[in-house]
Amino acid sequence: MILDLLFLIFIQPLVISIFFFLAPVLKYFFQNKNEKLILNLVIFSLITDLIFIKPLGFFLLITSLALFLISLLEKFLGTTYFYQKLIYLLIFNLIFLGLFLYLTTKQIFVPFLLKFLIFNIIFQLIYLFIRK
Amino acid sequence: MLRKKIKNIFFVLLASLLFFWFSQKVYAQQEVFFNLSLGWQNLIKNLWQKIFPQTEDDAYKEKYYELLQELAKLKLTLKQIKETEIITNREKYLPNLTEAKILKIDPLGYIYAENPGIKEEAIVLDQNWSLVGKVVKVSKNYLVVASLNLPGIEFNTANIDGELLGLGKTISNGFLEVNFIDPKLKIKINDFVLTYGDDNYPSGFLVGTVNKINKTQLGQQIIVKLSFNLDSGKIYLIK
């Protein structure tokens, strides 16, 4: 968590197309570690609010909504295999980025969405692969 | 286990809804937070620049690029340059111009800058007098500019002769799209595009140059490359 925190504080302001805090949150989501998931979600999303200059609670709201929707999906689909995780990541990022773009610019602009989606999914896959 | 996870996340979702609503009500508190955050981010940016300074090679590349740009400008006829100066209203706006340091550039196209005492809706230009955007939010210590990189901004455009081209719409990544242009109008690649009328922006500001021309059944469509450049780290605001 400390490493993630340092990464978020020192690297996130320089890299603005990837939301770093989503990767550890998703890691704990897939590992079913509920307490760590909630702790990371609350602390990291509030720091991200400050980095992206959003009203406090903005990222907590959209992340928890996207997480809630994919956790409902978990009732019907497992998270064991790589392709299953990829489906989760796709749906999660689509909901998250759709909400982020809509609430920020009042429109969902497809080229932006695609660019953000590709960058974020690649980063999340690398993170989940390295920090199993 | 799964039920517990769903329950926990649902609880956080409800709490975050309340927190988000409450945080927007107590706006004055956030100003201090965000100002501290912008200061911190600026510090990190400067720190990284100090750790990884520009190498001599990079400096030469930059100088070469600048010389190329100068050469390209020299290729323009003197008449064109004179016309641009007249149209961009330098003399009219020069006494009201104020400089501001950029603190942060958002991925979507919002620019955060220091507030030199400017009001909302102020026009923002770059060092070459190209239109950057408009101030959308003013805070005590910083201001937010909606730049033309933000998608979906609409305004009328004109050519160098002041003739209306049509309604332009920004399409992000530094480009603007103008549809349904009169087919009789002669447009060439690299022609200047300026603002027209006084709808969203005052008339006569340089927006960019024509990058691509598409002939359609309903007229012409042009893609304009926006000409503003924020590499200097400064923006210029019209009071």
- Assess if residue B49 is contained within a domain: no
- Assess if residue B56 is contained within a domain: no
- Assess if residue B153 is contained within a domain: yes
Residues 6+ positions from A67 with CB-CB distance below 8 Å: A25, A29, A41, A92, B9
> Rounded CA gap, B9 and A77, in Å?
18
- Assess if residue B88 is contained within a domain: yes
**Could you give the number of structural domains in chain B?**
1
Segment B121-170, tens digit of pLDDT: 889 988 878 899 999 988 888 899 999 988 888 999 988 888 888 899 99
* B13 close contact with A: CB closer than 8 A: yes
pLDDT value for B232 = 79
pLDDT value for B23 = 84
> Rounded CA gap, A79 and A89, in Å?
11
Instruction: Say if the Cβ atoms of A50 and B48 lie within 8 Å.
Output: no
The amino acid occupying position A103 is L
> Rounded CA gap, A127 and A28, in Å?
12
Instruction: Say if the Cβ atoms of A10 and B44 lie within 8 Å.
Output: yes
Picking from B9, B151, B172, the nearest residue to A68 by CB comes out as B9
- Assess if residue B96 is contained within a domain: yes
> Rounded CA gap, B9 and A38, in Å?
7
- Assess if residue B170 is contained within a domain: yes
Domain that holds residue B123: 76-239
ipTM for the whole predicted complex goes beyond 0.90: no
pLDDT over 70 (residue B55): no
- Assess if residue B51 is contained within a domain: no
Per-domain residue ranges of chain A: 2-130
Min Cα distance B199 → chain A (Å) is 20
pLDDT value for B68 = 72
Q: Which of A92, A19, A95, A25 is nearest to A52 (CA)?
A: A19
Q: What are phi and psi of B185, to 5 degrees?
A: -70, 130
Instruction: Say if the Cβ atoms of B1 and A64 lie within 8 Å.
Output: no
> Rounded CA gap, B186 and A73, in Å?
56
pLDDT over 90 (residue B48): no
Segment A55-110, tens digit of pLDDT: 889 999 999 999 999 998 887 877 777 888 889 999 999 999 999 999 888 888 88
Give the pLDDT band of residue B75 (cuts 50, 70, 90). Answer: low
Question: Which residues of B fall within a CB distance of 8 Å from A98?
Answer: none
Residues 6+ positions from B145 with CB-CB distance below 8 Å: B110, B111, B112, B113, B124, B132, B133, B134, B135, B136, B235
Picking from A50, A64, A104, the nearest residue to B108 by CB comes out as A104
Instruction: Say if the Cβ atoms of A10 and B105 lie within 8 Å.
Output: no
B173: domain CATH number? 2.40.10.350
Min Cα distance B72 → chain A (Å) is 31
- Assess if residue B39 is contained within a domain: no
Higher pLDDT, B65 or B214: B214
pLDDT over 80 (residue A130): yes
Instruction: Say if the Cβ atoms of B4 and A34 lie within 8 Å.
Output: yes
